[in-house]
Amino acid sequence: MVFLSNAISEARIKETNSNGVHHADSVNTSVYGTRWAAEDIPRFAMPEVSSNLPSLHITHIAYTQRKKCLPVSPEDSMNGVTVTYSHLTILLIVDMAYRLVKDELQLDGNPALNLATFVTTYMEEEAEKLMTENLSKNIIDAEEYASSAEICNRCVNMIARLYNAPMHDSSSEALGCSTVGSSEAIILSTLAMKRRWQLARKAKGLSTENPNLILGSNQQVAWHKATRYLEIESREVDCTEGVYCLDPVKAVEMADENTIGYTGHYEDVKKVNELLEKKCAETGWDIGIHVDAASGGFVAPFVNPDLEWDFRLPRVVSINVSGHKYGLTYAGVGWAVWRSPEYLPKDLIFNINYLGSDQASFTLNFSKGAAHVIAQYYVLIRLGKAGFTKIMTNLTNTADHLAECLLNSGRFEILSEGNGKGLPLVAFSLKGEQHYDEFDLSAKLRERGWIVPAYTMAPKLEHKKLLRVVVREDFSRSRCELLIRDIVAALRALDTVDQKTVEAFRALKDAHAHRSLHQSIAHYKVKDSEPVQGPNGEVHSLEIKKAPGIC
């Protein structure tokens, strides 16, 4: 996973990068007839010249001529000088950088077989077309791209209604914004809860020193970020055997006057609301609930519309959802919605006028592409509630079918909830004793291209290993059958090898893992238990692991 890369020093480049000899003269037959066949692709520094291009002008001529479907003259004039290159050469030069980058990406996994992620891997061509057509728009320029901004407003309206935001009072209408994803929405919502708590405490002359937030220990990493970045104590409710999510009674017991809020996802929000109402009535506290509906926010309203988890519950003050998960849009869009302006303190909102008009902004980033918001709107109106209901019901049925087949194999225990009571995913673990585990099975499936992650459960349940298949729109029944066939075959293969072979395979697995040639910071594992500061107060910085070398 590379979400933090380090710039490699010259010393390390020298140490590890000795492959390839420069052949500057070979720009004639094809990409791989050029120097790139025998020399390393640029990785650390921008090349001084275009990718072996004799001239950018020539490239441009070739490109524009080709767009007009005209042949390129072998004698195009450039700045009054006649240059001669063959037609073929020029066309290949144009393609070269594209080809090099495209080929570099061939070893990426196949998104369609990536069953680890909730994030959308399929959109209709029309959606892709709309996205391509709008790639050059920055949604923050609401004055210049007023229609895109209007589309964003429409999405917020639709989502707020989907979550039953109170709509009867014009003085307290729900508010919302688009974000890059749920993580940004979660950080913004947490900030709003914290600031609201601070303002209320200050007004009463009370301390604002130690805010806390109560979360399930099964929380997503976004919550660790929100609490750590915003300096809030996170009080985690441990999961226990059989209760794999937040226990409402324990959660409400943990509250005190410094609790800024609660979070939960597909958990018993109704019960938390009920207990919290009681507690707040007794103590005079005003504690809200934020619902992390990142993955469930576009499933529950359609598959389980009677489940009360949203603004129908009075203590729910804000909700986030990832448009790029079951909102069926490609990665890059999320939403945050607040019940009413009361929950979004004014001093967090920035009013700017330098883009052509007065506009209010509540985002972490300033600029952001408009294409994903537009694509989200396309999906909302293209499918409508009926379409979403059909798709989410299909996914739920496929997940149930997969769970049933796995159960019938007699080899697995199912840990996820079926029948639409949970998300359309199947979490399962191996039953009984065998000489291999879930991680070995995951690795075996990888040989067929399937990405089915194995992991350990939340703190206190780490001994429990499981595999998870997230059922997405492009995971059809037929693909599901293929997966079942391959799981059965993988079990059979693992059954036939002995323990020693399994262990040898495990040892090799790490060495074979596909990662960047020069291992970057991202591979440094930061454990939550590690102190950030040393005994003398010194701050630990990330340690860069040295790559073993690439040759």
Q: Is 289 in the site for ligand PLP (CB under 6 A)?
A: no
Expressed in angstroms, the distance from the first to the final Cα of the chain is 22
What is the nearest approach in angstroms of ligand PLP to the Cβ of residue 116?
11
Say whether residue 92 binds ligand PLP (CB under 6 A): no
Closest CA to 550 of 6, 8, 100: 8
- Per-residue binding string, ligand PLP, 334-353, x by CB under 6 A, is x-------------------
Does 220 sit near ligand PLP (CB under 6 A)? yes
Stretch that binds ligand PLP, among 161-169, 288-296, 427-435, 540-548 (CB under 6 A): 288-296
The DSSP bridge partners found for residue 214 are 235, 262
Residue 452 interacting with ligand PLP (CB under 6 A): no
Q: To the nearest whole angstrom, how small is the minimum distance from the Cβ of residue 519 to ligand PLP? A: 24
For ligand PLP, which residue of 247, 267, 268, 292 counts as binding (CB under 6 A)? 292
Instruction: Report which residue's Cβ sits closest to ligand PLP.
Output: 181
**65 or 263: whose CB is closer to ligand PLP?**
263
Paired tokens of 465? 């290993």
Q: Are 379 and 127 in contact (CB under 8 A)?
A: yes
Distance CA 394, CA 468 (A): 18
Which region, judged by CB under 6 A, interacts with ligand PLP, from 121-129, 169-177, 290-298, 538-546? Answer: 290-298
How far is 182 from 294, CA to CA, in rounded Å? 6
| 61 close to 72: Cβ distance less than 8 angstroms | yes
Least Å distance, CB 69 to ligand PLP, is: 42
Indicate the residue among 200 and 307 with the shorter CB distance to ligand PLP.
Answer: 307
Q: Which is nearer to ligand PLP, 222 or 457 (CB)?
A: 222
Give the range of 108-116, 128-136, 177-185, 505-513 binding ligand PLP by CB under 6 A. 177-185
Of residues 106-125, those binding ligand PLP (CB under 6 A): 118
Neighbours of 307 (CB within 10 A): 17
**Rule CB under 6 A: is residue 183 a binding residue for ligand PLP?**
yes
Burial 257-275 (b: 16+ CB within 10 A, else e): ebbbbbbbbbbbbebbbeb
Interface with ligand PLP includes 263 (CB under 6 A)?
Answer: no
For every residue of 262-317, DSSP letters joined together read EEESSS-HHHHHHHHHHHHHHH----EEEEE-TTTTTTHHHH-TT---STTSTTEE
Listed residue (464, 491, 447) closest to 109, CA to CA? 447
**One symbol per residue from 127 to 166: x for binding ligand PLP (CB under 6 A), - otherwise; what is it?**
----------------------------------------
CB nearer to ligand PLP: pick between 118 and 197: 118
| 178 scored as a contact of ligand PLP (CB under 6 A) | no
Q: Applying CB under 6 A, which of residues 182, 189, 212, 398 lies at the interface with ligand PLP? A: 182
Residues 431/411, Cβ–Cβ less than 8 Å: yes
Q: Does 322 bind ligand PLP (CB under 6 A)?
A: yes
> CA-to-CA distance for 325 and 472, rounded, in angstroms?
9
d(CA 361, CA 16): 46
Instruction: Look up tokens 């061509």; give the residue.
Output: 125
CA 271 from chain center: how many Å? 29
- Comparing CB distances to ligand PLP, the nearer of 380 and 425 is 425
Q: How many residues bind ligand PLP (CB under 6 A)?
A: 12
Q: How many CB atoms lie within 10 A of CB 399?
A: 25
222 belongs to the binding site for ligand PLP (CB under 6 A): yes
Asked if 181 touches ligand PLP (CB under 6 A), the answer is yes
Kindly state the DSSP code that residue 451 receives in the 8-state scheme: B
Contact positions vs ligand PLP (CB under 6 A): 118, 181-183, 220, 222, 265, 292, 294-295, 322, 334
